[in-house]
Structure 1
Amino acid sequence: MRVDLPQLVLASASPARLRLLQTAGFSPQVRVSDFDESQVQLSHPEALVNQLATAKAEMVIQSLETDLAHALVLGCDSVLAVDGEIHGKPKDSTEAIARWQRLRGNCGELYTGHALIDLGRSTRIVRAQVTQVYFAHISDRTIEAYVRTQEPLKCAGAFALEGYGGLFVEKIVGCHSNVIGLSLPLFRQMLEQIGYEVTNFWETSL
């Protein structure tokens, strides 16, 4: 890595977020925060994802080694809001089925909070992106088959756009990668706001 660029640390266990960053030319280290999300109870989805993303980044920072004292830490969190109600990951298959019975033929708003903390420059930026997701009107049988794949149990909103769930999304209005868990355009804007040229990070993976 170039000496004038900090190491990017992804404070998330999400394989989808890691793949997004790698595909965009970044080489992040992954550190999982294990933050207890139940500690944060907010009714507004944007405020909720921003606070959770920040908490995850801050918890990871506390565990970083000396050689990462100047790291660039990115925390993220996503929820789906439908008719004003916030949905994270379903707790079990029964809840996932009920969730999809509500989602089908409906539209939800996928919120992802992004907390970017530059330890070397003592700078932090916290912003959220929102994308509208329109779901197909699928049968109970299809819902049950989808839930049996276990994919909905691992995802905010009970679906993964980049997986089986992509078959059941009719339309997206807004940032596509945001629905996967990290808005690449927003991340670029945040890096530029701090003062980094995003293309310089590509050299770490070429």
Structure 2
Amino acid sequence: MKPIILASTSPRRKQILAQSGLLFKAVSSNYEEDMTLKLKPLDLAKHLSKGKVLSIVKKYPNHIIIGADTFIALKEELLGKPLTIKKARQSLKKISGKAVSVITGFTIIDTGTKKSFSKACVTKVFIKKLSTQEIENYIKTNEPLDKAGAFAIQGLGAVIVKKIEGDYLNVMGLPLYELAQALRKFDVKIL
């Protein structure tokens, strides 16, 4: 089997891929995500994940590279990582009491054969109605700052999630079931 590279340094993506039992190396892609591209959300997720892979493809000949990108869709608006307290507050106010779509796109490229595959997965997440105090208390933890949509389902953000429809790991950033199915096309079998 060819060596596997995860084009991400996200602790969550590394944890999820490690769960599969695959041996891999995680590297930063340094790809500049452009959330303003005029693409449909599922196409944008695939485009951004492919960009991450393509940004490192020349460094890893004869490898299998996996890239992923996650963001939140609230009707027509896309919410990525807020990065600032002000933007986190805005995002949490927007998603309060709403159902949002968490979209993760992933791309796999075999740099030896040039074979590639991209897919986008959607999980619906229902957020409880948040009081101003709950928003402020959550922001004080700093957890929302580097999470798509300003919440982490695997952390304290779990207390604001009423329910989900779809893949839990997709919300964390890597839909392992769908990824495992896709890896079979590259002769990588997890089970």
TM-score by length of 1: 0.88
Distance in 1, Cα, partners of 2:20 & 2:37? 33
Gaps of 5+ in 1: 200-206
| Correspondence 1:164 to 2:156 | yes
Superposition deviation, residue 100 in structure 1: 0.7
Secondary structure of 2:34's counterpart equals helix
Secondary structure of 1:37's counterpart equals coil
Distance in 2, Cα, partners of 1:142 & 1:20? 29
Distance in 1, Cα, partners of 2:31 & 2:166? 29
Q: Which residue of structure 1 aligns with residue 112 of structure 2?
A: 120
Aligned residues: 191
Distance in 2, Cα, partners of 1:31 & 1:193? 23
Counterpart code for 2:114? S
| Correspondence 1:45 to 2:41 | yes
| Correspondence 1:132 to 2:124 | yes
Q: Which residue of structure 2 aligns with residue 203 of structure 1?
A: none
Q: Which residue of structure 1 aligns with residue 88 of structure 2?
A: 96
Counterpart code for 1:131? T
Superposition deviation, residue 40 in structure 1: 6.0
TM-score by length of 2: 0.95
Distance in 1, Cα, partners of 2:132 & 2:175? 32
Q: Are the counterparts in 2 of residues 49 and 78 from structure 1 also a CA contact under 8 Å?
A: yes
Gap change, CA 1:190 and 1:87, over 3 Å in 2: same
Q: Are the counterparts in 2 of residues 110 and 130 from structure 1 also a CA contact under 8 Å?
A: yes
State which of 9, 13, 18 in structure 1 corresponds to 2:5: 9
Distance in 1, Cα, partners of 2:27 & 2:106? 15
- Residues 18-37 of structure 1 correspond to what in structure 2 (within 5 A)? 18-37=14-33
Deviations 1:79-112 (A, max 9, x none): 1000221111114111111211121110000110
| Correspondence 1:173 to 2:149 | no
Q: Which residue of structure 2 aligns with residue 84 of structure 1?
A: 76
Gaps of 5+ in 2: none
Q: Which residue of structure 2 aligns with residue 110 of structure 1?
A: 102
| Structure number with larger C-alpha Rg | 1
Q: Displaced runs of 4+ in structure 1, greater than 3 A? A: none
| Correspondence 1:60 to 2:56 | yes
Q: Are the counterparts in 2 of residues 6 and 72 from structure 1 also a CA contact under 8 Å?
A: yes
Deviations 1:37-69 (A, max 9, x none): 1386134211111111001001111233xxxx2
Q: Are the counterparts in 2 of residues 40 and 48 from structure 1 also a CA contact under 8 Å?
A: no
Gap change, CA 1:125 and 1:54, over 3 Å in 2: same
Q: Are the counterparts in 2 of residues 40 and 52 from structure 1 also a CA contact under 8 Å?
A: no
Identity %: 30
RMSD: 1.4
Distance in 2, Cα, partners of 1:169 & 1:60? 35
